[in-house]
Amino acid sequence: MRLKDKIVIVTGGGSGIGKGIAGRFSVEGAKVVIAQRNQEKAEEVAAGLRSRGAEVVAISVDISNRTLVRELVRKTIEQFHRIDVLVNNAGITGLPATSRFLDCSDEHLNTIIDVNLKGTIICSQEVAKEMVKSGGGAIIHISSVAAYAAQEGATVYCATKAGLEGLTKSMALELSSHNIRVNCIAPGDIRIETNEVISDEMKAAGVSGKYFREIPLGRRGTPEEIASAAVFLASDESSYIQGATLLVDGGFLIY
């Protein structure tokens, strides 16, 4: 078990990629806190993992609200006494993140930035403070290939994911002296329950779809494949990796 007895918070761990990460981390021996806005969804996933012998807790949180994030951290420390790993996975993606640049409302702009970027910063700050006290840890941001390749109709989303790239490097620089490693994963096209027909949905919303590419490996990825990368970055196997982004995209960006 590569993460035996590690205390891990996975934001957005009740669905999609986060669900895959939470499940894999528990298999690797970690004690997992699933932080999800939807408590019912988080508890359903947690119950399933507990039935297989894992130690998993579900906590409802809006990551853009610092008071609620502090409560998440307090509850985690109260139960497990420390935090070893934070996976910043929660974010608004897919169709809900779509808006043409000229039509993007202030409400949409604020919502995407508050969750995808501001929320990641808030969670990282509050958890890193505890990691400093306990002697170190690992923080993993879940970005996207959208940080590198523009996506029509998703300007704000792309900007937030590009922001995570800069955040990863800057955090790594400042937190190295505290033995906190900060790295990032940029997934490609990953099949989850909410994006089975994402290309059709985007085109129906008025997006041309010209930016959709052929994937060299010939298929969409799975949450479990992102989870494998996350386990690596959370484990001692990546002890000399700092401020890096690992592309897990089936070759999406190689041409």
Predicted local distance difference test score (pLDDT) of residue 74: 98
- pLDDT band, very low/low/confident/very high, at 194 (cuts 50, 70, 90): low
- The region of weakest confidence among 95-104, 144-153, 198-207 is 198-207
- Distance between CA atoms of residues 254 and 247, nearest Å: 10
Q: By the 8 A CB rule, do 138 and 230 touch?
A: no
Predicted local distance difference test score (pLDDT) of residue 150: 87
The pLDDT > 90 percentage for the chain reads 85
Predicted local distance difference test score (pLDDT) of residue 214: 84
pLDDT tens digit sequence for 91-135: 998 888 888 899 999 999 999 999 999 999 999 999 999 999 999
148 is catalytic: no
| pLDDT tops 70 at residue 211 | no
Please, what is the average pLDDT of the chain? 93
- Distance between CA atoms of residues 32 and 153, nearest Å: 35
CATH of region 7-248: 3.40.50.720
- Distance between CA atoms of residues 213 and 71, nearest Å: 42
Domain range summary for the chain, segments of one domain joined by +: 7-248
pLDDT tens digit sequence for 108-120: 999 999 999 999 9
The closest of 213, 226, 228 to 12, measured between CA atoms, is: 226
- Distance between CA atoms of residues 213 and 198, nearest Å: 13
- Distance between CA atoms of residues 141 and 228, nearest Å: 14
The mean per-residue pLDDT over the stretch 65-70 comes to 98
User: Active-site residue among 148, 157, 211, 255?
Assistant: 157
- The region of weakest confidence among 31-35, 83-87, 202-206, 241-245 is 202-206
Predicted local distance difference test score (pLDDT) of residue 192: 82
| pLDDT tops 80 at residue 175 | yes
pTM exceeding 0.75 = yes
| pLDDT tops 70 at residue 247 | yes
Predicted local distance difference test score (pLDDT) of residue 94: 83
| pLDDT tops 90 at residue 64 | yes
Predicted local distance difference test score (pLDDT) of residue 95: 83
